[in-house]
Amino acid sequence: MALIGEEDAQEIRERLKEMVNPVKLVHFTQELNLEYGREAKQLLEELAALSDKLSVEVYNFLLDKEKVAEYKVDKVPATIVRNGKDYGIRFYGLPAGYEFSTLLDAIIDVSKGDSGLGPESKENLGKVTQPVHLEVFVTPT
């Protein structure tokens, strides 16, 4: 059974037409003892099928240790949104509900290579001299 219905798929296709460059979703999962693991993988595969500029690569968190280390993944399911560059964008868990629209925004921004920030914000961020680790947590309601 599909997770993305046909009506939603059509809207998503329209949204993904904003993409400029290809984007890869790098997904880490495992087969056993993982809540929403199967659904997260299925959702990403269905999403990638909606645009020829979007692809998905799937790795096993327990077996693909080199890729786990390369992307610094420490929990699953995990999805990295990247193009030729890894911007550090990570989604953990099932990116559904409100998080799905955030995933679409991230895909489009990465495709364009632009954060959407204004000049003043970019200037202020340019003054940051130390690495910053930022996490946003959401609770399904």
Q: Which domains does the chain have, with CATH numbers?
A: 6-116 (3.40.30.10)
Give the amino acid at 88.
Answer: G
> CA-CA distance, 100 to 106, in Å (whole number)?
10
Kindly report the average pLDDT of the chain as a whole number: 93
Residues 6+ apart with CB under 8 A from 77: 27, 28, 29, 34, 36, 37, 40, 41, 92, 93, 94
Name the one residue in this structure whose structure tokens are 């364009």: 112
CB atoms within 10 A of CB 123: 10
- Indicate if the pLDDT at residue 44 is higher than 90: yes
pLDDT-derived band at 39, boundaries 50, 70, 90: very high
Compute the average pLDDT of residues 18-45: 94
pTM of the predicted protein model? 0.89
- Indicate if the pLDDT at residue 140 is higher than 80: no
Q: What is residue 133's predicted lDDT score, i.e. its pLDDT?
A: 83
Compute the average pLDDT of residues 80-98: 92
Q: What is residue 139's predicted lDDT score, i.e. its pLDDT?
A: 63
Tens digit of pLDDT for each residue in 60-71?
999 999 999 999
